[in-house]
């Protein structure tokens, strides 16, 4: 068996060991991707950090990302990708039919929003949908609590059923012990640029690992200081992934994530008189009644509709595209296989 003491600090568990055991190849060792750089990556291996190559041609290991568990061979080339227990996906920026994996094998997502600027509830809901869909547990953190006059924590709690929300300050340390106690396994910080993700990451790590930068004075927007998704071991167990500020966050196949984010609306809707109620003032509509009574905000219903519509549109579009793409990949694979046979026959 491989000596995995070093890997434990990078999140190696019995479960990962079990997955690894089922795919052991001669001369390979397990490794965790710490950071990706196009065709190469930094990995943690049983003997320490290393640099590894990622073969692009191998469809199975393309699309690697920070947090992935892989096997690497004696030449430091990534050979296999271990099954992911979670993956944070968004629709790719280029609008291709593939989702982009932001981080893999994440247990807790820390959704960061600066409390000293306008807190955008719609964006928090969007990040919640992305997180629930990924299989990780969300925590909403209102950062820079020291600089905020009043912190809308109750409003945030109301939009995050099933998740915890708290105010923290990396500057004063307020809320950091409570937060630390809530973190579990691999933690990823997400949120817009300037939300204070890297500053909070450094505070949790207990050292200045990640670069930080002041926000623009005029509009409090960040300067996209962080450019890599990078994983580090936390001092008291677990690991942490800092990520670049999200510009747009397109949802990727997030129907379940949306349902969980808006579980309050879903359960109201279950009480509407008509099964196909559109909640537009139909008789016996429990959702409209909740809006009239002030129990549910119109903003939240609008946000729910917007995300559901966007998701449906994306799903319809990718179905067709995926089909075409699969056909193409298949043709490429057959071509490569034929080429392989030819080369083998030539060698004979
Ligand atoms: N007052 C105060 N300022 C903070 C706090 N946390 C972060 N900041 C400031 O907010 C600014 C942005 O912080 P970063 O940590 O660089 O933000 P980020 O979310 O990592 O930004 P990107 O890397 O661009 O995505 C810096 O000037 C920090 O000093 C805090 O708790 N209190
Ligand atoms: Mg940063
Ligand atoms: Zn209804």
Q: What is the DSSP string of 227-257?
A: -S-EEEE-TTSSEEEE-PPPS-----S-HHH
Whose structure tokens read 């046979």? 341
Q: Is 194 annotated as a binding residue?
A: yes
What pLDDT digit, counting tens, does each position of 201-249 carry?
Answer: 999 999 999 999 999 988 889 999 999 999 999 998 999 999 999 988 8
C-alpha distances in Å from residue 243, one per residue of 102, 192, 267, 296, 316: 8, 10, 34, 33, 29
Average pLDDT over residues 271-283: 94
Instruction: State the average pLDDT over residues 180-189.
Output: 96
Kindly state the DSSP code that residue 59 receives in the 8-state scheme: G
Assigned CATH for 88-95+100-242: 3.40.50.300
Cβ(238) – ligand 1 distance below 6 Å: no
In the chain, % of residues over pLDDT 70: 86
For residue 63, say whether it is annotated as part of any ligand binding site: no
Cβ of 243 below 6 Å from ligand 1: no
228 is in an annotated binding site: no
- Choosing from 222, 227, 229, 245 the residue with most ligand 1 atoms within 8 A of its CB, the one to mutate for a pocket test is 222
Q: 125: CA distance to ligand 3 center in Å?
A: 21
DSSP 8-state assignment for residue 215: P
Query: Distances in Å between the alpha carbon of 176 and those of 58, 143, 152, 167, 206?
Result: 42, 10, 18, 9, 11
CA-nearest residue, atom 22 of ligand 1: 193
Asked whether 269 and 286 are in contact (CB, 8 A), the reply is yes
**C-alpha pair distances (Å), 292 with each of 111, 186, 274, 276, 296:** 30, 42, 18, 20, 8
In angstroms, what CA-CA distances link 100 with 91, 241, 257, 338?
6, 16, 16, 31
Band (pLDDT 50/70/90 cuts) for residue 339 is low
23-65, pLDDT tens digit by residue? 877 889 999 999 998 889 999 999 999 999 987 655 556 688 9
Tell which atom from ligand 1 comes closest to the C-alpha of 227: 23
- Asked if 245 and 191 touch (Cβ cutoff 8 Å), the reply is yes
Mean pLDDT of the chain: 89
Q: Rounded to two decimals, what is the model's pTM?
A: 0.90
272 annotated as a binding-site residue = yes
pLDDT at res. 342: 57
The pLDDT score that the predictor gives to residue 227 is 94
Determine which of 51-60, 154-163, 173-182, 339-348 has the lowest per-residue pLDDT on average.
339-348
Q: What is the whole-number distance in angstroms between the Cα of residue 171 and the centre of ligand 1?
A: 10
What does the pLDDT read at residue 7?
A: 94
Query: Is the predicted pLDDT of residue 345 greater than 80, yes or no?
Result: no
Give Cα 330 distance to the centre of its chain: 29
Helix residue ranges, H only, the chain: 5-8, 14-21, 121-134, 153-158, 176-182, 197-205, 255-261, 263-269, 286-293, 298-347
Is the domain 6-83 a CATH 2.40.50.140 member? yes
* Cα first-last separation, the chain: 38
Q: What pLDDT, in 10s, does the model give residues 245-266?
A: 998 888 888 999 999 999 999 9
For residue 187, list its beta bridge partners.
Answer: 108, 240
Q: Which H helix or E strand runs over 117? A: none
Residue nearest to atom 12 of ligand 1 (CA): 194
pLDDT at 2 (0 to 100): 47
Position 1 confidence tier, pLDDT thresholds 50, 70, 90: very low
Domain map of the chain by residue range? 6-83, 88-95+100-242
For the ranges 81-85, 158-162, 220-224, 329-333, the lowest mean pLDDT is seen at 329-333
Say how many Å lie between the CA of residue 143 and the centre of ligand 1. Answer: 9
């Amino acid at each position: 068996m491989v000596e995995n003491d070093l890997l434990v600090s990078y999140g190696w568990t019995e479960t990962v060991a079990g997955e690894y055991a089922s795919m052991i190849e001669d001369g390979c060792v397990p490794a965790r991707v710490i950071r990706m750089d196009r065709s190469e990556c930094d990995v943690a291996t049983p003997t320490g950090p290393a640099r590894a190559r990622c073969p692009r041609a191998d469809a199975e290991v393309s699309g690697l990302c920070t947090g992935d568990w892989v096997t690497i061979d004696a030449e430091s080339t990534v050979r296999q990708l271990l099954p992911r227990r979670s993956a944070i996906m968004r629709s790719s920026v280029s609008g291709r039919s593939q989702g982009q994996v932001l981080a893999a094998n994440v247990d807790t997502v820390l959704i960061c929003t600066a409390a000293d600027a306008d807190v955008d509830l719609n964006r928090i809901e969007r990040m919640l949908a992305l997180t629930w869909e990924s299989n990780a547990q969300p925590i909403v953190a209102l950062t820079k609590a020291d600089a905020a006059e009043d912190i809308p924590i109750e409003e945030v709690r109301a939009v995050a059923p099933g998740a915890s929300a708290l105010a923290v300050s990396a500057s004063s340390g307020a809320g950091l012990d409570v937060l630390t106690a809530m973190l579990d396994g691999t933690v990823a910080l997400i949120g817009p640029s300037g939300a204070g993700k890297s500053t909070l990451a450094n505070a949790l790590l207990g050292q200045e690992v990640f670069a930080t930068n002041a926000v623009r004075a005029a509009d409090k927007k960040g300067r996209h200081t962080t450019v890599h998704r990078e994983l580090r071991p936390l001092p008291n167990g677990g690991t942490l992934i800092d990520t670049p500020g999200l510009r747009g966050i397109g949802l990727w196949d997030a129907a379940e994530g949306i349902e969980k984010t808006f579980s309050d609306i879903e359960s109201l809707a279950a009480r509407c008189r008509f099964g196909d109620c559109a909640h537009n003032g139909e008789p016996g509509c429990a959702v409209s009644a909740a809006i009239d009574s002030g129990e549910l905000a119109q903003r939240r219903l609008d946000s729910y509709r917007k995300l559901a519509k966007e998701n449906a549109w994306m799903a319809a579009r990718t179905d067709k595209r995926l089909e075409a793409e699969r056909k193409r990949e298949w043709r490429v694979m057959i071509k490569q296989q034929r080429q392989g046979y030819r080369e083998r026959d030539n060698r004979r």
